[in-house]
């Protein structure tokens, strides 16, 4: 394995950490309607668990309403059941053609709780980044020990690794800051 391969693998792992963070954040309700709240839910479609976004179009007519228009209206009761079983805390209603989800405003206390949840998730992402850095650094030290690279090359590679880690750590901080702002906005 070369230094380039180690750095490339490290960046792939860091990207996966970012994807995880963004996915987790998208599932946190902020008092605003977002298709991310429901699109990944699995609905029982004629005995087969199917992702909701494959069964329907999901739109946001205004900031506090989600509309789910299934391609097959017969699946509406199953969509409603799935939403009621989820931990969204939203009661759906339908008019026979579309399922509507009114997204209520969040209380100040709930918003503060959500900021704590978001901070915890971002801290897990930061821990993951540090673990990835440690593992990559150990690989580079092993390359030097096995005489694949020189000591100078190892130090340059570790410096590059740190720049990569700093870049992703800054992205995590920026995403956290934006999510906190979004949650606390009334």
Residue 45 pairs in a beta bridge with 48
The length of the chain, given as a count of residues: 186
Q: How far apart are CA 60 and CA 112, in angstroms?
A: 25
pTM: predicted TM-score of the whole model, two decimal places = 0.69
Query: Which residues are bridge partners to 66 per DSSP?
Result: 101
Which pLDDT score, from 0 to 100, does residue 142 have? 93
- Domain spans of the chain, in order of start: 3-27+107-184, 35-102
Using alpha carbons only, what angle is made at residue 91 by residues 85 and 97, rounded to the nearest 5 degrees?
100
Does the domain spanning 3-27+107-184 belong to CATH 1.10.132.20?
Answer: yes
What is the pLDDT, as a whole number, of residue 36?
81
Instruction: Give the residue from 29, 42, 178 showing the smallest Cα distance to 103.
Output: 29
Q: What is the pLDDT of residue 186?
A: 61
What pLDDT sits at residue 35?
Answer: 85
Q: Which fold has domain 35-102?
A: Gyrase A; domain 2 (3.30.1360)
The count of other CB atoms within 10 Å of the CB of residue 171 is 17
- The one-digit pLDDT tens for each residue of the chain (186 residues) are 888 999 999 999 999 999 999 888 877 767 777 888 888 889 999 999 999 999 999 999 988 899 999 999 999 999 999 988 886 778 899 998 999 999 878 788 878 888 888 999 999 999 999 999 999 999 999 999 999 999 999 999 999 999 999 999 999 999 999 999 888 876
Q: Where are the alpha helices (DSSP H) in the chain?
A: 3-26, 52-55, 76-85, 108-145, 151-184
DSSP β-bridge partners for residue 48: 45
Res 104: pLDDT: 79
């Amino acid at each position: 394995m070369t230094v380039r391969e180690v750095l490339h693998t490290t960046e792939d792992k860091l990207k996966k950490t970012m994807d995880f963070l963004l996915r987790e954040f998208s599932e946190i309700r902020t008092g605003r309607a977002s298709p991310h709240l429901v699109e990944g839910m699995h609905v029982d479609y004629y005995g087969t668990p199917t992702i909701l976004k494959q069964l329907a179009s999901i739109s946001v007519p205004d900031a506090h309403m989600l509309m789910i228009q299934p391609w097959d209206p017969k699946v509406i009761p199953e969509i409603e059941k799935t939403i009621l079983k989820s931990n969204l805390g939203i009661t759906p209603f339908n008019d026979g053609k579309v399922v509507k989800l009114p997204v209520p405003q969040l209380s100040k206390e709930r918003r503060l709780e959500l900021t704590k949840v978001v901070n915890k998730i971002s801290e897990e992402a930061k821990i993951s980044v540090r673990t990835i850095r440690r593992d990559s650094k150990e690989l580079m030290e092993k390359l030097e020990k096995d005489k694949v690279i020189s000591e100078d090359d190892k130090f340059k590679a570790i410096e590059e690794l740190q720049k990569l880690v700093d870049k992703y750590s800054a992205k995590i901080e920026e995403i956290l800051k934006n999510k906190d702002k979004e949650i606390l906005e009334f």
